Amino acid sequence: MDEIVGRPGELADRLITLLNCDALGEGGWDSVGFYAIFFLGGKSLYNLVPDTGKDPVPGSVGEQRRQLGKLVSRDKYFELIRNRLSELVVCGIEEAFLVRSVRDAIRRELESLTDIGEGDRNRAQLRVRIERTAADPAEIAAFRARLATNDPSAESLSDEEIAARLRNMAESEFLLPTSPDIALDRWAMLTHWDHHMASLLPDAVFDQWRQWMVRRLSMREAF
């Protein structure tokens, strides 16, 4: 990367480069992009689903995301995340504070995924809750109403169809106990994140950026 010069948007650009990195492993950019959107919020990012080039597994959470969300290309996905960062800066959030906050929040999420025991316990509890929902007519009705908020056609789904969707979710790969291969992938993703974070957005870069910003403003005022 080029040296820091205190340009507005410079740190946001580096964050996008870090997020949109193939070196994070297969599907890594999709995972960290999802976390970034969760933390950044905003209508422009609501229900975005990036095209990963692969069809989701039938009945999986990924398939439901694609059915209910707005499918966009990978380039468009990160363009919209970048635009959201700019929007928040315009609203008064300092760029260095914003970028560092998102960077650290995503790392905490990636680190939490490496705690296999706790993760498996949480997924087991979620499976039980989903299965209970699939067996309760009142919960099925509430779930249908939530679906219909974004997809009005869900109103026409029968209790049996809603229950089948819920059972498919409970049995999805996402909620299964963590396999050794997945555990290794998660550690690898965290390791790759730390490596590229150290190159693109180390702690020192934020103070450097602020110092250059002050110099640029001082020079502008001098003229």
In a domain, 150, yes or no: yes
Other CB atoms within 10 A of residue 212 CB: 16
In a domain, 4, yes or no: no
In a domain, 113, yes or no: yes
In a domain, 1, yes or no: no
pLDDT at 215: 80
In a domain, 172, yes or no: yes
The more confident residue out of 191 and 26 is 191
In a domain, 3, yes or no: no
pLDDT at 97: 97
SS3 of the chain: the string is CCCCCCCCCHHHHHHHHHHCCHHHCCCHHHHHHHHHHHHHCCHHHCCEEECCCCCCCCCCHHHHHHHHCEEECHHHHHHHHHHHHHHHHHCCCCHHHHHHHHHHHHHHHHHHHCCHHHHHHHHHHHHHHHHHHHCCHHHHHHHHHHHHHHCHHHHHCCHHHHHHHHHHHHCCHHHCCCCHHHHHHHHHHHHHHHHHHHHHCCHHHHHHHHHHHHHHHHHHHHC
Number of domains in the chain: 1
pLDDT at 133: 93
pTM: 0.74
Other CB atoms within 10 A of residue 144 CB: 18
Q: What is the pLDDT of residues 77-98, one digit of tens each?
A: 999 999 999 999 999 999 999 9
Q: What is the pLDDT of residues 156-171, one digit of tens each?
A: 999 999 999 888 888 7
Q: What is the pLDDT of residues 38-56, one digit of tens each?
A: 999 888 888 888 988 887 6
Average pLDDT of the residues in 149-161: 85
Q: What is the pLDDT of residues 94-109, one digit of tens each?
A: 999 999 999 999 999 8
The residue among 138, 124, 135 whose CA lies nearest residue 170 is 124
In a domain, 5, yes or no: no
The domain containing residue 51 runs over which residues? 10-215
Say if residues 114 and 187 touch (Cβ distance below 8 Å): yes
Is it the case that residue 173 has pLDDT exceeding 90?
Answer: no
pLDDT at 122: 83
Average pLDDT of the residues in 203-214: 92
Q: Six-digit token pair at 20? A: 């949109």
In a domain, 220, yes or no: no
